[in-house]
Structure 1
Amino acid sequence: MAKIHGFNKLTLLDYPGRLAATIFLGSCNFRCPFCHNAGLVLAPESEPLIEAEEVLKVLRKRKGILDGVCVTGGEPTLDSGLTELLAQIKELGYPVKLDTNGTRPALVRELVDAGLVDYVAMDIKNSPEKYAETAGIRHPDLESITRTVEYLKSGVVDYEFRTTVVKELHKREDIEAIGQWLSGSRRYFLQNYKESEQVIRPVFTSYSREQLENFQQILQKTIPQVEIRGI
């Protein structure tokens, strides 16, 4: 069974256009220094566990109120119980959104093919050239990440790409490179970085709305729908 470390019973932010609940799974194969879920990433074994049945019980009670469930992390595709959890959620009739860093393309495809995922939100950490620095590991699997990008771009499932933008890691040339890499994608979100005590390395700063809008204009040259979140 999936290891659930957090459960938000109601959100208007995590699943676009839907009133949803969010389930947080632990562990991650990245160490993004600006990550807001440091506990889930660095020491998931020390985080409290929530019984899956307790979560499913709430979801049963809220049928007709909620119209979606988001499964996030950490990196949820690393949890061996993910498929079973998604199947149980789908049995309740909920659309499911999966958040992922894209490092396990075969599993993403498998979940979509099985009808267990209705929307995928994939984090694009930076331009390929700066992925290692931004993901916080020496050798991110860019081949697998690119396979997930191309799979989602094929349109077999509804999706979004998104980047949490921080001044110290994302420059104009990086945004231009991302725009070329993701050219022709359906939609893309620039997410404004927000300072928090939960960040792995709290040394980063955010851009102004004006600068994010400049980045938005750059991206709109190659991606039809580009929006800004968190500001």
Structure 2
Amino acid sequence: MNIGGFQKNSLIDFPETIACIVFTQGCNFICPYCHNPDLIASPKKEAGDLYDENKIFEFLEKRKGFLEGLVITGGEPTLQKDLIAFCRKVKDMGYKLKLDSNGTCPHVLAKLFEDRLVDFISMDIKTSLENYHLVVPGKFETQKILESIRLLMEKAPAYEFRTTCTRPFVSKEIMKDVGEMIMGASKYILQKCSRNVKVLDPKFLKADNNFFSDKEMLELKETIDKYVITSVIR
């Protein structure tokens, strides 16, 4: 895989699991508030700053008994052609595995579930289907998002849906649309967008109206609570 970052330990990214994190390089979305902008573009062939996959496996071998799991995030991991093989090797080493995805490659998710290669999956839902054009360059089949949602709810061992709450991607009306897409979901995370990080579009941070107050976040939560079992503001 093309790995653009590696974090040796985390206590918060994998529920109830001490884990390390692999950040894959490359994404098919252009969310202006993206907190990992350096991972958006696909790597150039001559790039020398990608992480050596073998060294990560060496690290995992040494940390057996101390680490419990590994998180694969991005970028968008399901774009990686070697993702399945990488996950299989991680599982063969005895680690639990969590995947973060934007849900645009349901066929990859289906294979991961079929082969029992993931223990937990977090899927980002960016906005209502009719507004996905705001975060996806070019044409995009929004049906893939619905297919991935269905796969998670039917096949995933454990899962959560999550949305970074900013305007114009989220509103009470849009939250209702999202709720209808994930009706009956076990867990939904509303993420308040931070203004104290590097993002893909720095101008996005300067517009106060893009961001929700704590009171407005609670109102969004009240909206989604009608559709899901549990919701959390993070």
TM-score class normalised by the smaller sequence: over 0.9
Measured after TM superposition, the shift of residue 105 of structure 1 is 0.7
Q: How many residues align?
A: 227
Measured after TM superposition, the shift of residue 209 of structure 1 is 2.0
Deviating more after overlay: 167-176 vs 107-116: 167-176
State the partner residue of 1:64.
Answer: 65
Measured after TM superposition, the shift of residue 50 of structure 1 is 0.9
State the partner residue of 1:92.
Answer: 93
State the partner residue of 2:130.
Answer: 129
Task: Work out whether residues 14 and 70 of structure 1, in 8 Å CA contact, stay in contact via their aligned partners in 2.
Answer: yes
Task: Work out whether residues 23 and 72 of structure 2, in 8 Å CA contact, stay in contact via their aligned partners in 1.
Answer: yes
Aligned-partner Cα distance in 1 for 2:214–2:64: 38
Matches within 5 A, 1:1-231: 2-45=1-44, 46=47, 48-133=49-134, 135-196=135-196, 198-202=198-202, 203-204=204-205, 205-229=210-234
Aligned-partner Cα distance in 2 for 1:58–1:29: 29
Q: Which runs of 5+ in 2 are unaligned?
A: none
Measured after TM superposition, the shift of residue 43 of structure 1 is 4.9
TM-score w.r.t. the length of structure 1 is: 0.92
Measured after TM superposition, the shift of residue 47 of structure 1 is 7.3
Task: Work out whether residues 86 and 96 of structure 1, in 8 Å CA contact, stay in contact via their aligned partners in 2.
Answer: yes
Task: Work out whether residues 36 and 196 of structure 1, in 8 Å CA contact, stay in contact via their aligned partners in 2.
Answer: no
Task: Work out whether residues 68 and 94 of structure 1, in 8 Å CA contact, stay in contact via their aligned partners in 2.
Answer: yes
Q: In 2 relative to 1, CA 156–100 (structure 1 residues): closer, same or farther, beyond 3 Å?
A: closer
Structure 1 segments, 4+ long, off by >4 Å, are none
Task: Work out whether residues 25 and 76 of structure 1, in 8 Å CA contact, stay in contact via their aligned partners in 2.
Answer: yes
Q: Percent identity?
A: 33
Cα RMSD after superposing both structures = 1.6
Aligned-partner Cα distance in 2 for 1:94–1:9: 14
Aligned-partner Cα distance in 1 for 2:88–2:193: 33
Aligned-partner Cα distance in 2 for 1:169–1:127: 8
Aligned-partner Cα distance in 1 for 2:107–2:100: 15
Task: Work out whether residues 40 and 47 of structure 1, in 8 Å CA contact, stay in contact via their aligned partners in 2.
Answer: no
TM-score w.r.t. the length of structure 2 is: 0.91
